[in-house]
Amino acid sequence: MKNLYAYRVVWVVLVAGLLSGVVFRESIRRTFSRRRTVADTIAELKLKRGAEFQKSYPDLAYVKRVLLVAVKNTRRLEVWTQNDESDLFQYRKTYAFTGFSGKAGPKRLSGDRQIPEGVYALTGLNPNSRHRLSVKVGYPNAVDEEFARKERRTNLGGDIFIHGSNTSIGCIPIGDPNAEELFFLLAHVKPGGAHIVIMPVDFRLKRFRNYTGAKAYERRIYRLVREEIRTKLPAINLSTAFFAKGEKKTAF
């Protein structure tokens, strides 16, 4: 009887130990695998760089919409904001690409390393990016999908982001500090309030006014890009507004 009681005690201790180990391992797993939220990231950034962001965007609380303009051949990303729907967008600042892939022309297939071209919604913020922080570009859009059907193309690719670091296989990298600032700005804009225009060259410059592309797909995209710019951005002197002294103007 004593032996049976001792066996039971040992068995209970072993089971309890096993269950404790499982609970402990699960607790450790949850601790280390917990994904950061946008709110966590914004709180962290505000504590670390809030004063700096306030200098860049002192009217942050009033920004209603954001329009980004990416120009591939000069490898820059402009930030434009709108505080009132009756106003045109106002230029705020420019972030330089820190990496690049592909060439002039739209993205057509997964793996072609092309940065898309067109007008896209910014559809999400990723605080758990491998490249510090990232903003998702809504590629493919309706025009991309329409022409893919006409040309019988499939597997258009996706997962196009504006992100930190300096690598690109179709994304737009702008370095970690700039990615943090842009992430912080966009987190304060309501869903649907942020878009990006991506173009191969700057259609606002006189020498590119007749740049139309070689295919119907490109011509349609570039018309839409020009319309977006014409209706939302003011006519300004680009030579002084965007090209910083000594900036390299990269040709394809």
pLDDT in tens, 29-85: 443 446 899 999 999 999 999 999 999 999 999 999 999 999 999 999 999 999 988
Tell whether the model's pLDDT for residue 219 goes beyond 90: yes
Burial 205-216 (b: 16+ CB within 10 A, else e): eeebeebebeee
Number of domains in the chain: 1
**Residue 3: both structure tokens together:** 């032996």
Mean pLDDT of 221-235: 92
Q: Alpha helices of 34-108 — where are they, by DSSP H?
A: 38-56
Question: How confident is the model at residue 6, as a pLDDT?
Answer: 55
Domain assignment present for 29:
no
Angstrom distances, CA of residue 149 to CA of 83, 107, 108? 38, 15, 12
pLDDT digits (tens, 9 = 90+) for 88-97: 899 999 999 9
23 lies in a domain? no
Contact 222, 204 (CB under 8 A): no
pLDDT of 5:
56
* Phi, psi values for residue 2, rounded to 5°: -60, -40
* pLDDT for residue 252: 47
For residue 122, give both structure tokens.
């910014």
Average pLDDT over residues 14-36: 50
Q: Considering Cα of 6, then 9, then 15, then 20, what sign does the dihedral take? A: negative
**219 inside domain:** yes
In sign, the C-alpha dihedral spanning 76, 153, 139, 173 is: negative
The tens digit of pLDDT for each residue in 105-164 reads 999 999 999 999 999 999 999 999 999 999 999 999 999 999 999 999 999 999 999 999
Alpha-carbon dihedral sign for residues 8, 9, 10, 12: positive
In a domain, 67, yes or no: yes
Query: Residue 32: inside a domain, yes or no?
Result: no
**Within a domain: residue 26?**
no
For residue 57, how many C-alpha atoms fall within 13 Å in the half-sphere facing its CB? 29
CATH of the domain at 51: 2.40.440.10
Supply 7's token pair.
Answer: 């066996």
Torsional class of 76: left (φ above 0), alpha (ψ -120 to 50), beta (otherwise): beta
SS3 for 33?
A: helix
Beta strand 65-71 with 90-96 is: unpaired
Domain that holds residue 156: 38-241
Give a yes or no: residue 153 inside a domain: yes
Contact 197, 151 (CB under 8 A): no
